[in-house]
Amino acid sequence: MAAILHIRDLTKQFGGLTAVDAVSFDVPEGGIVGLIGPNGAGKTTIFNLITGVYKPTSGSIEFRDRSIVGLEPFRIADMGITRTFQNIRLFKNLSVFDNVLTACHLSANYSFAEAILRLPRFRTQEKRLMAKAEELLDIMGLLGYKDLIANNLPYGLQRRLEIVRALALNPSLLLLDEPAAGMNPDETEQLMRLIVRIRDDFKLSVLVIEHHMDLIMGVCEHIIVLNFGEKIAEGSAEEVSRHPQVIEAYLGTREEATDA
């Protein structure tokens, strides 16, 4: 399968600290790829580099064979890459519906003048946006909470709303940053099914950072392991879990293990 995202020798330095060190990997079209590693391994930094929040020190990021290095985050979003955040970043004081409706804006192109004069194009497009937001909420089981202020939503559903908001942009690559953080096993199970379902229904490729190994092992077809900014292993769940360096990064060396 062709790669939708192509990362080569990606490096990011903050002053003297190398947060990401010459990392290379691909995300295949339609694939679900897991990005794992201990805290501080540089996972979120890679997300920030892909989405344009940070500029890489060196290396290349190609999305559909086009370099996206140096583009503004909103342009990268426009091209079809979107993400969720480790610490949820919803439009807190807006209703669930308005959160999604706002993100639907890329599906409309009426101008300021058309909006202010309430011209026909404004009306038809606005109707379409509302229908789209409603439909997305319905598919994702949040329609019942449509009028609730996002901040009042239970934690697990806030994470889900963030995914819905990301889907509203019609992305072709979705980056999920610890989507299961703070979820109980039951909710994690639900989330796993959800990730697979949206990949199939929305024809997406997914790159997911997660610490819940059940989730990673359960849904990811390919796993990349980072430690101290470097890629230490890559492969299927089984391959990765047997890799000596991965075991060392997560569990410590054999001597340490016997000590404990």
What residue ranges bind another protein (CB under 8 A)? 51, 53, 72-74, 77-78, 82-83, 85, 89-95, 98, 101-106, 108, 110, 112, 115-118, 122, 126, 129, 144-149, 152-154, 165, 168-169
Of the pair 82, 227, the CB lying nearest another protein is at: 82
Report the alpha-carbon distance of residue 251 to residue 239 in Å, rounded: 16
137's tokens: 């909420």
List the structure tokens of 191: 């989330």
Say which DSSP state 203 is in.
T
Check if the beta carbon of residue 166 is closer than 8 Å to that of residue 76: no
The single residue listed with the structure tokens 């989405």 is 51
CA dist., res. 113 & res. 31, Å (int): 42
Residue number with CB closer to another protein (55 or 254): 55
Q: How many CA atoms lie within 13 A of 106 on its CB side?
A: 18
Least Å from the CB of residue 192 to another protein: 21
Smallest gap from Cβ 203 to another protein, in A, equals 19
**CB 95 → another protein: shortest distance, Å?**
6
Question: In angstroms, rounded to a whole number, what is the distance separating the alpha carbons of residues 209 and 225?
Answer: 10
Taking the complex as a whole, the smallest distance from the CB of residue 119 to another protein amounts, in Å, to 11
Which of 148/181 has CB closer to another protein?
148
User: Encoding tokens for residue 197?
Assistant: 């379902």
Structure tokens at 103: 């993100």
Q: Which is nearer to another protein, 98 or 248 (CB)?
A: 98
Which of residues 39 and 93 has its CB atom nearest to another protein in the complex? 93
Neighbours of 107 (CB within 10 A): 14
- 126 DSSP 8-state letter: H
Q: How far is the CB of 42 from another protein (least distance, A)?
A: 19
Sign of CA pseudo-dihedral 60, 61, 66, 68: negative
- The nearer residue to another protein, 24 or 95, going by C-beta atoms, is 95
